[in-house]
Amino acid sequence: MDAPFSLAVVVDDDPDIALAARLALRDLFERVETLTSPAALLPVLKEESPDAILLDLNFERGATDGREGLTFLNKVMGIDPDAAVVIITAHGAVSIAVEAIKAGASDFVAKPWSNERLAATVRSAAALRRSRIDARTERGRLSELTPSTDTPLLGRSAAMERVRTLIDRAAPTDANVLILGENGTGKEIVAREIHRLSRRSEHPLVAVDLGATTETLFESELFGHVKGAFTGADTDRIGRLKAADRSTLFLDEIGNLPLHLQPKLLTALEQREVVPVGSNKPIPIDVRVVAATNVSEDKLADEKRFRQDLLFRLNTIEIALPALRERREDIPVLLDHYLTLYARKYDRPHRELPPAVLEALLRHDWPGNVRALRHAAERAVIMADGKHYRLDDFPLPQRSEAASMSVVGESLNLDQLEKQMIERALRMHHFNVSGAAAELGLSRGALYRRMEKHGL
């Protein structure tokens, strides 16, 4: 059986103790190196990253205060803050060992030790070090997959002021928050603002798009897996719930989570622990959950679609974001912000927005909400070539919503009607399949099959 860890280093000037430790740890590590001086440890740390270090505190003849070992412990932690250092101490010198733990050591063992106790202590220290490194790596990977946005929460309407008030009240607490709103209303922006104002803001927010997470990989993505749990699981991997430990977990498109998977998420949140796929050992988590969905409250209240006990777990505080058509007075502010932003980004001149063009943009219903307005502003900045913006610079649909409905109504061919409704839903959600599927009352898989059928 392969050893679970690569390298352990034992630092003790007594060769008998060093040999005993080496024999006790040989099944846990591929290599166990022994050193007689702590000074020899520092060059090793610059060349390699030991999974665990077993460090004696006293090296000078007659020394019992542990000062020399503590000095080198501080140097080790300065080189590698994640170092898993287990202190070797004489029986009765527990006070010195406690001081070492305060300085960064993971644990201590007293001489004489039992081999079982030594192996268990060093194994735990090495596993903790690996967990810390994996969590940081995973958070970095997730931040690349879900880059943070610099988009501010814009708007001076009464509706947006209510949203800001709820954010200010909810953010400093650890209460779970459910954000409701159509696609493009800014649910992720609100989630990031809640995290920024929370006591967990020193740790990165971890975002999970449940609409894009396949059912087969759901447990592995959220709970992690151990090596060999399934084909392709070549290494242990922590899940996103553990990656969000001591931070905020943003569960986007929670309303699209299939009913049969909801109990697994509920259990993890209730018990505050996860069990990786292929393991039977629970791992504790400390996570604050902010969830978001474009599914209506009526549909969330349907027990055939969403478990009510999970809903109660998620919506301690509920924030409903208004659609852009419900706060038209914010459109000029949003247009000014995005036109200025993209003019600066693409090095384009400042152009005036004539009143007639602004009036037309104010009348538009913006089915894609702020996201659609932002894309329209970006296109206008790129396409405009005069001193003023023209309505043609903005990619607005040529037909009104009512006209679009009448076109659908002209045909009674079911296939044609289905194709038109799918096209309409996709346009409304800017070809976001999850959003269009939710709008049509279909699963993502069912919508993909219909899109293939109609050549979309």
Q: Say whether pLDDT at 31 is over 80.
A: yes
Is 377 in the same domain as 426? Answer: no
Residue 445, both tokens: 């898989």
Q: What is the mean pLDDT of the chain?
A: 84
Q: How would you classify the pairing of strands 237-238 and 224-225?
A: antiparallel
Is 332 in the same domain as 352? Answer: yes
Taking the C-alpha atoms of residue 275 and residue 279, their distance in angstroms, rounded to an integer, is 6
pLDDT at res. 8: 94
- Show the beta-strand stretches assigned E in 19-153: 29-35, 52-56, 85-90, 107-111
pLDDT at res. 148: 42
Is 262 in the same domain as 180? Answer: yes
**85-90 β-sheet, strand order:** 29-35, 5-11, 52-56, 85-90, 107-111
Residue 112, both tokens: 């004489």
Confidence of residue 1 (pLDDT cuts 50, 70, 90): very low
Is 430 in the same domain as 384? Answer: no
Q: What is the pLDDT of residues 292-322, one digit of tens each?
A: 999 988 889 998 899 999 999 999 999 999 9
> What percentage of the chain exceeds 90 in pLDDT?
44
Is there a domain that residue 314 lies in?
A: yes
Q: Say whether pLDDT at 39 is over 70.
A: yes
For tokens 């903790």, what's the residue?
128
Is there a domain that residue 184 lies in?
A: yes
Mean pLDDT of 199-210: 90
Residue 437, both tokens: 């599927």
Nearest to 74 by CA among 38, 43, 110: 38
pLDDT at res. 92: 55
State yes or no: cis peptide before 152, omega within 30 of 0.
no
pLDDT at res. 404: 41
Q: Which of 23-37, 63-77, 312-326 bottoms out in mean pLDDT, i.e. has the lowest?
A: 63-77
pLDDT at res. 230: 79
Q: How would you classify the pairing of strands 206-209 and 273-274?
A: unpaired
Chosen domain end from 393, 423, 438: 393
Count: domains in the chain: 4
Is there a domain that residue 137 lies in?
A: no
SS3 126: helix
Is 101 in the same domain as 174? Answer: no
pLDDT at res. 238: 84
Mean pLDDT of 181-192: 93
Q: Which of 58-72, 78-92, 186-200, 429-443 bottoms out in mean pLDDT, i.e. has the lowest?
A: 429-443
Q: Say whether pLDDT at 344 is over 60.
A: yes
Is there a domain that residue 60 lies in?
A: yes
pLDDT at res. 297: 87
Q: What is the pLDDT of residues 250-302, one digit of tens each?
A: 999 999 889 999 999 999 999 999 999 888 888 899 999 999 999 988 889 99
Is 247 in the same domain as 203? Answer: yes
Taking each helix axis from N to C terminus, what angle separates 331-345 and 355-363, rounded to the nearest 10 degrees?
Answer: 120
Q: Say whether pLDDT at 240 is over 60.
A: yes
Q: Say whether pLDDT at 402 is over 60.
A: no
Q: Say whether pLDDT at 178 is over 70.
A: yes
0.75 exceeded by pTM: no
Is 332 in the same domain as 189? Answer: no
Residue 117, both tokens: 């106790």
pLDDT at res. 93: 61
Is 252 in the same domain as 188? Answer: yes
Stronger pLDDT, 62 or 184, i.e. the higher one: 184
Is 182 in the same domain as 304? Answer: yes
Q: What's the CATH number where 208 sits?
A: 3.40.50.300
Range of 44-48, 131-135, 151-155, 335-339 with top mean pLDDT:
335-339
Using CA atoms, how far residue 302 sits from 51, 137, 320, 428, 444, in Å, is: 50, 39, 18, 24, 19
* Residue 159 near residue 322, CB atoms below 8 Å: yes
Is there a domain that residue 138 lies in?
A: no
What residues contact 78, with CB distance under 8 A and at least 6 apart? none
226 Ramachandran zone, left/alpha/beta (phi>0; psi -120 to 50): beta
Taking the C-alpha atoms of residue 307 and residue 166, their distance in angstroms, rounded to an integer, is 25
For tokens 């090296």, what's the residue?
59
User: What radius of gyration do the chain's Cα atoms show?
Assistant: 29
Residue 330, both tokens: 């914010």
* Ordered DSSP codes for 201-267: TTS--EEEETTSS-GGGHHHHHHEE-TTSSTT--S-EE-HHHHTTTEEEEEETGGGS-GGGHHHHHH
Chosen domain end from 84, 106, 131: 131
Is there a domain that residue 136 lies in?
A: no
29: which strand partners?
5
Q: What's the CATH number where 373 sits?
A: 1.10.8.60
pLDDT at res. 250: 95
Chosen domain end from 305, 320, 335: 320
- Residue-wise burial string across 6-22, b where 16 or more C-beta atoms lie within 10 A, e elsewhere: ebbbbbbeeeebbebbb
Name the residue range of residue 435's domain.
401-453
Mean pLDDT of 66-82: 86
Is there a domain that residue 167 lies in?
A: yes
pLDDT at res. 50: 93
Is 218 in the same domain as 259? Answer: yes
Mean pLDDT of 384-393: 92
Q: What's the CATH number where 442 sits?
A: 1.10.10
Q: What is the pLDDT of residues 416-451, one digit of tens each?
A: 777 788 888 887 776 677 777 777 777 777 787 788
Is 282 in the same domain as 168? Answer: yes
Mean pLDDT of 154-169: 92
* Residue 447 near residue 433, CB atoms below 8 Å: yes
Stronger pLDDT, 136 or 194, i.e. the higher one: 194
Stronger pLDDT, 146 or 70, i.e. the higher one: 70
Taking the C-alpha atoms of residue 262 and residue 305, their distance in angstroms, rounded to an integer, is 10
Using CA atoms, how far residue 422 sits from 293, 372, 373, 427, 435, in Å, is: 20, 19, 22, 9, 11
Q: Say whether pLDDT at 121 is over 80.
A: yes
Is there a domain that residue 65 lies in?
A: yes
User: What's the burial of 390, exposed, middle or buried (CB within 10 Å: 0-12/13-18/19+)?
Assistant: middle
- With residues binned 3-state (H G I as helix, E B as strand, rest as coil), the percentages for the chain, rounded to 5, are 50, 15, 35
388: which strand partners?
352
Q: What's the CATH number where 39 sits?
A: 3.40.50.2300
pLDDT at res. 140: 55
User: What's the burial of 325, exposed, middle or buried (CB within 10 Å: 0-12/13-18/19+)?
Assistant: middle
Is 316 in the same domain as 366? Answer: no
Q: Give the single-character DSSP code of 293.
A: E
What residues contact 295, with CB distance under 8 A and at least 6 apart? 255, 256, 305, 306, 438
Stronger pLDDT, 2 or 346, i.e. the higher one: 346
